[in-house]
Amino acid sequence: MIVTSTCTRPECSAPMRRDGLCFPHLILAAQGPTEPSTPATIASKYSCGESECTEEVHAKGLCKAHYEAARRTGALVAKTCNMDGCDDAHSARGLCARHYMQARRGNREAQAAAA
């Protein structure tokens, strides 16, 4: 058995991830034959959002290196609560923890802000 470091598909020279396939071909194999996606669209969909970077997405549409850089520089700003007059940090569904719990308990004003 010959071990290669590239995808086993003849038209592809991307690095092999698992089962002899690159990341885009693994996604295509998992989707099944009915999905019209191509490796190019899959790769762009799961590639870092920074220009000229082709690494896989780690978080928030960025690869690990660009995500860490953005986090260190403060480019990833924390969201605040959607309720008028509330500047608390976002917790879930656009609300701070207090307003989120009010929405869960049936407060219509908080429910509208979460939508």
Give strand pairing partners of 80.
Answer: 89
Continuous segment of H or E residues that includes residue 104? helix 97-104
Confidence of residue 13 (pLDDT cuts 50, 70, 90): confident
Q: Is residue 94 part of a domain?
A: yes
Mean local confidence (pLDDT), 88-107: 84
pLDDT at residue number 50:
78
Q: Is residue 93 part of a domain?
A: yes
Q: State how many domains the chain has.
A: 1
Q: What is the pLDDT of residues 58-93, one digit of tens each?
A: 877 788 898 888 888 877 766 788 888 888 888 887
Q: Which two tokens stand for residue 20?
A: 């002899």
Q: What is the pLDDT of residues 27-64, one digit of tens each?
A: 777 766 654 555 555 555 677 777 788 888 887 778 88
CA 16 vs CA 39, 57, 85: distances in Å: 13, 17, 51
Confidence of residue 12 (pLDDT cuts 50, 70, 90): confident
pLDDT at residue number 1:
40
DSSP H helices in 5-77: 23-31, 39-45, 64-73
pLDDT at residue number 83:
85
Question: Which domain does 106 fall in, by range?
Answer: 78-115
Q: Is residue 90 part of a domain?
A: yes
Give CA–CA dist 49/66, Å, rounded. Answer: 9
